[in-house]
A and B are shown apart, each in its own frame.
Chain A
């Protein structure tokens, strides 16, 4: 009976209709919290009891040899791969394991792929327009109009990524480095709290690398940024905190100097590489 009474309240919406509180809660510390995560593909343990926390506003670099599980880790955070066991939380409110890719994206986790993926048949401006944090359902998208404040926001991001001059060019004609920046710009349009960036400088020239390093360090603070990278020089130039992954779990964590002096790390990774 009380149920029925509840239904007849005219000043309140039903509980199931009320919007779910979405702000990310970081009062208790980390923005990303992974504990005891395990994933195996056909018996191969890609991720093995992985524990990782990333603080709000932090710029974190993740390094590790091939097959260490870096990309799989990103897949888990963005909802592409489901772990066998473990828990993954975004802030202290959102359990990422119960959500799909678009939901996670709209919560504020942006992901840049290893290979630059931009929409080549659209202009730079349109690429950013699509990435903008707006209502992404069908009908609002169909009737969407370009408001002046949207235009300003896009121009602001164009400024940040340094592609103002290429605003109305098709993204298909951009160079490799420019595509990478455009993709980072698209992530920024989403106003993410957490940016996952997979090998941002692969295939870049020295200068492009420098600009990318500047771009990423300028983003940290406003957003939390997790960068997965192979290039040690690049990591050294941007990293404050470095996490070394090996065979699906964390091998060492600390500043670049601490990590590169760690005998374990030298054995599995740095020793082989340099």
Chain B
């Protein structure tokens, strides 16, 4: 067999990963080219606004991949992944706040504007170190990772699964939202963190930086996708499918189900954190609304629309739904939620395996395969 034995290299030998990476990199190159080399008035010119919008979609796509990893392959329906996304975002936001320096409205060299406004005289301890990029970038991974570790340890050890776990994750993100709304928390209350200037010394308001962030997001999505693919094609991936479908059986085979769940959950939370960190400099603000339960549910809808347990389906779902959202909220802002709900119902009824399921069916019909598949598991 030609399949590589190295778990990290295995994804590159899969057709689906090759196609995914090919399409993604082609898209990055085309957008970059159209943005840089097409004249401003040309119909093919991609504006800096569009570049940033696409960057935002890619962040959502990475977030959707993270959710698909735990939902599709481990059977854990997390309705609180927005929390990990937002924590990564806040870690990045704190770094960007410290980069403002004395250029803020109040001109304080150390304290961010909102702290001066609240009459604080010194930086809270948890803001220390965020002036250094490396520290902030590590925290982007650690903050969501540690939350997921502690939360997951408690939940999985007590064998909380199914709907109950979904409800707890929902409660987790709601509790964090309430906490971050408070001014005393030191994260800017309901205004959040904004008014960013530079990232790594580059001015955030220039087109070049925006393009750079877009490309960085694309690369992060590629890396995140490959990591997830490497996990799901490894033996551990098959064990997580086993945990999803027959938890007790897996336990009697000698696997520690709760550790498998914890591992995958933490990896997923970290990916969500990276997505949040890349999102914040592109949209220019992070506030507690990212913690809202509604947002976390929306992520699940993207994945369901795209197709569970495929990873690329999650990417397609996230991009399509958010594109639809951009168009819809421009034309008929009030109708968006109805459209999303309607879309969700239609897909669940007619495309239970999502858009990815449709693609698979197409391919299957072409190769004229006669093996029936009872592949998809129940939620």
Contacts and interface: CB of A to CB of B under 8 A. Distances in A.
Check if A and B associate: yes
Interface string A167-181: 001101100000000
B7 A143 contact: yes
Given A102-B254, A131-B253, A138-B259, A169 B242 contact: no
B373 A119 contact: no
Given A136-B254, A170-B374, A173-B374, A119 B236 contact: no
A102 B255 contact: yes
B374 A110 contact: no
A212 interface: no
Contacts of B205: none
Contacts of B208: none
A188 to B, nearest CB: 12
Contacts of B7: 142-144
Nearest to B5: A145
A173 to B, nearest CB: 6
A126 B251 contact: no
A78 B250 CA distance: 13
B246 interface: yes
A102 B251 contact: yes
Nearest to B4: A145
A121 B239 CA distance: 11
A169 B371 contact: yes
Contacts of B33: none
B246 A119 contact: yes
A102 B258 CA distance: 11
B103 interface: no
B330 interface: no
B170 to A, nearest CB: 27
A59 to B, nearest CB: 21
Nearest to B256: A102
B374 A172 contact: yes
Size bracket, chain B contacts: 20 to 34
A48 interface: no
Contacts of B6: 145
Given A105-B253, A105-B254, A173 B234 contact: no
Nearest to B309: A121
Contact of A142 (B5, B231, B244, B373): B231
B375 A170 contact: yes
B134 interface: no
Contacts of B5: 145-146
A121 B375 contact: yes
Contact of B249 (A119, A133, A138, A145): A119
Contact of B236 (A118, A121, A141, A169): A141
A120 B377 contact: yes
A55 interface: no
A58 to B, nearest CB: 21
Given A129-B235, A141-B234, A121 B241 contact: yes
B361 interface: no
Given A145-B5, A170-B375, A138 B236 contact: yes
A231 to B, nearest CB: 23
Given A102-B251, A170-B375, A190-B254, A130 B259 contact: no
B238 interface: yes
A196 to B, nearest CB: 10
Interface in A143-163: 143-146
A186 interface: yes
B374 A122 contact: no
A130 B238 contact: yes
A117 interface: yes
A120 B259 contact: no
A122 B259 CA distance: 21
B284 to A, nearest CB: 38
Given A120-B245, A122-B241, A138-B259, A105 B236 contact: no
A101 B251 contact: yes
A101 B252 contact: yes
A130 B235 contact: yes
A28 B368 CA distance: 61
B234 A144 contact: yes
A145 to B, nearest CB: 4
B256 A170 contact: no
A111 interface: yes
A78 B252 contact: yes
A222 B236 CA distance: 30
B377 A138 contact: no
B248 interface: yes
A106 interface: yes
A122 B242 contact: yes
Given A113-B249, A121-B244, 6 more contacts: A117-B246, A120-B245, A121-B377, A130-B238, A172-B375, A173-B371
A-B complex: 3 closest residue pairs judged by Cβ atoms:
A172-B374, A105-B254, A145-B5
12 contacts: A102-B255, A113-B249, A119-B245, A120-B374, A120-B377, A121-B375, A136-B253, A138-B259, A143-B234, A144-B235, A172-B373, A173-B373
